[in-house]
Chains A and B, each alone.
Chain A
């Protein structure tokens, strides 16, 4: 199975690897996946007073496509409003990285991680979590 150039690029030079202070009320953390399934993503966002994402970091245990999906997600999140971030669809990631069908679950996981991070941020700040349609694993 050959990887697309974009997957290789993100895998080789992952953007925004790291850890934000998860105790800060400005930071939302999403931890999705499971070790026994072979992929776990942790995605964190830092949000300013205008509901704009100023920083995003990730760490991922998984295959190359999972690492690339989360790296791309952090790139897209920076500078977006929460509302725009909420609208990121896994199929956007599939398209951008040219993921083959067996790797679509990596993009779903990245979308889940984004939504989980946003909801963690909302709950921390006294807002109700946004109901998301149960993703299609």
Chain B
């Protein structure tokens, strides 16, 4: 076993060696520009890109002409939201999203608000899921876009995408989803799910960083987005810029591997994740955050009450995990996702996200369980709050000095 054990696969995943192997020729002999139509170097690069486009499309049940390569999910989110807002502004200016989206969606929505958009930020239920009645009530004739993520990056909950897209379409709006965490982990099908635009990235599915895609529906309806990057008119005019050929080839290979291995891998991961969760919730006052039925197979977000997340991660130095604690963020605010579930700040501060992946082993999970149990117990011995809890003191009855 190598240390530290990597359990932060929602932040990024290691590159699969098979992906690296597929990419290597495109750094060497096949270095051509995919847009060079007049010689063999260009053709070789174009062939690599074309094949990758098919691999990516197949994973989400799309046609390869519907795949626009970008630099990653953040760019895809920007292109989708800003692009739809610009393209459809004659139809309306209203966009609906949720408060638990990734910042790439939230901040893009804030940006278009400055340009005249009206954005509704839906809250979520205690389990992290969108209230469909609330969504329905928020729809207006002016609504051009509903943008709701597929699987959440912090708690892993999977939104009822089919129901959401049906509501959007009923009211004549497009449906976009940031599927960064879901694609490659669970079956995603743009037609069955009613998705018009979908953002995804390679590095969350064992591909390279710096490459992603936006799916843009071509039929029923034909969706158009205004380009946000002007230049040579690449990617059907929606995203100019010389294609990142090695990255795209790697992305394609990563999608193919996920497609082939998803079913067995999801079963393996959820069995390990469930075991981890079961063992860790044996600890007193530990709580799983978010819906546990509608959840990605590889994530568990657990709060260990009366222990602070950053301090806990420092104790668990054998494990690479992440926390919703304020101390780990630049803003000194605890996770807005956890707070939007109605979690009190102290529980948000006490949360740890375990993100399993393709290279996680049972042996590593055994070790993670032991280290976490030991660290939580150790830090509780140091915690005045734990002592007070054990003495039966109601912590809410104390007048804490805000600072």
- Residue numbers of A with Cβ under 8 A of B are 3, 11, 14, 17, 19, 31-42, 59-64, 66-67, 102, 105, 108-109, 137
Q: Verify B402–A37 contact, CB threshold 8 A.
A: yes
Q: Verify B314–A3 contact, CB threshold 8 A.
A: yes
Residues of B within 8 A of A63 (CB): 308, 310-311, 314, 325, 327
Q: Verify B382–A59 contact, CB threshold 8 A.
A: yes
Q: A38-B309, A63-B325, A64-B314 are in contact. List 20 more A-B contacts (CB 8 A).
A: A14-B382, A32-B401, A33-B400, A33-B403, A34-B401, A36-B346, A36-B400, A38-B334, A40-B384, A40-B385, A40-B400, A59-B383, A59-B384, A59-B387, A60-B383, A61-B308, A61-B383, A62-B308, A66-B308, A137-B403
Count how many pairs of residues, one from A and one from B, have CB atoms less than 8 Å apart in the complex. 87
Contacts A/B (CB < 8 Å), 13 sampled: A11-B311, A11-B314, A35-B345, A38-B308, A38-B349, A40-B385, A40-B400, A41-B384, A59-B383, A61-B308, A63-B308, A63-B310, A105-B403
Q: Verify A31–B384 contact, CB threshold 8 A.
A: yes
Q: List 9 tightest A-B contacts by C-beta distance, closest first.
A: A36-B345, A34-B400, A35-B346, A42-B384, A63-B310, A59-B384, A64-B314, A38-B349, A137-B403
Q: Does B344 contact A (CB under 8 A)?
A: yes
Residues of A within 8 A of B401 (CB): 32-34
Indicate the member of B315, B385, B403 with the most A CB atoms within 10 Å.
B403
Indicate the member of B387, B398, B400 with the most A CB atoms within 10 Å.
B400
Residues of B within 8 A of A102 (CB): 332
Contact A61-B384, Cβ < 8 Å, known A36-B346, A38-B325, A38-B327: yes
Indicate the member of B315, B384, B395 with the most A CB atoms within 10 Å.
B384
Q: Does B202 contact A (CB under 8 A)?
A: no
Which of chain B's residues 284-325 have a Cβ closer than 8 Å to chain A?
306-311, 314-315, 325
Query: How far apart sit A66 and B314, CA to CA, in the bound complex (Å)?
Result: 12
Which of chain B's residues 352-403 have a Cβ closer than 8 Å to chain A?
381-387, 395, 398, 400-403
Query: How far apart sit A26 and B402, CA to CA, in the bound complex (Å)?
Result: 28
Nearest-Cβ distance from residue A135 to partner chain B, whole angstroms = 8
Nearest-Cβ distance from residue A46 to partner chain B, whole angstroms = 17
Indicate the member of B383, B398, B401 with the most A CB atoms within 10 Å.
B401
Query: How far apart sit A102 and B329, CA to CA, in the bound complex (Å)?
Result: 10
Query: How far apart sit A61 and B386, CA to CA, in the bound complex (Å)?
Result: 9
Q: Verify A35–B400 contact, CB threshold 8 A.
A: yes
B102-129 to A contact mask, C-beta < 8 Å, 1/0: 0000000000000000000000000000
Q: Does B326 contact A (CB under 8 A)?
A: yes
Residues of B within 8 A of A42 (CB): 384
Contact A62-B311, Cβ < 8 Å, known A35-B395, A36-B346, A42-B384: yes
Nearest-Cβ distance from residue A52 to partner chain B, whole angstroms = 25
Residues of B within 8 A of A39 (CB): 308
Which of chain B's residues 20-58 have a Cβ closer than 8 Å to chain A?
none
Nearest-Cβ distance from residue B390 to partner chain A, whole angstroms = 11
Nearest-Cβ distance from residue B305 to partner chain A, whole angstroms = 9
Nearest-Cβ distance from residue A65 to partner chain B, whole angstroms = 8
Indicate the member of A19, A33, A35 with the most B CB atoms within 10 Å.
A35
Residues of A within 8 A of B310 (CB): 38, 63-64
Q: Verify A61–B403 contact, CB threshold 8 A.
A: no
Nearest-Cβ distance from residue A62 to partner chain B, whole angstroms = 5
Contact A38-B385, Cβ < 8 Å, known A63-B314, A109-B403: no
Residues of A within 8 A of B344 (CB): 36
Nearest-Cβ distance from residue A11 to partner chain B, whole angstroms = 6
Residues of A within 8 A of B384 (CB): 31, 40-42, 59-61
Residues of A within 8 A of B306 (CB): 61
Query: How far apart sit A3 and B314, CA to CA, in the bound complex (Å)?
Result: 9
Residues of B within 8 A of A33 (CB): 400-401, 403
Indicate the member of B325, B327, B334 with the most A CB atoms within 10 Å.
B327
Residues of A within 8 A of B382 (CB): 14, 17, 59-61, 67
Query: How far apart sit A99 and B306, CA to CA, in the bound complex (Å)?
Result: 24
Query: How far apart sit A32 and B400, CA to CA, in the bound complex (Å)?
Result: 7
B330-348 to A contact mask, C-beta < 8 Å, 1/0: 0010100000000011100
Nearest-Cβ distance from residue A106 to partner chain B, whole angstroms = 9
Query: How far apart sit A63 and B387, CA to CA, in the bound complex (Å)?
Result: 17
Nearest-Cβ distance from residue B329 to partner chain A, whole angstroms = 10
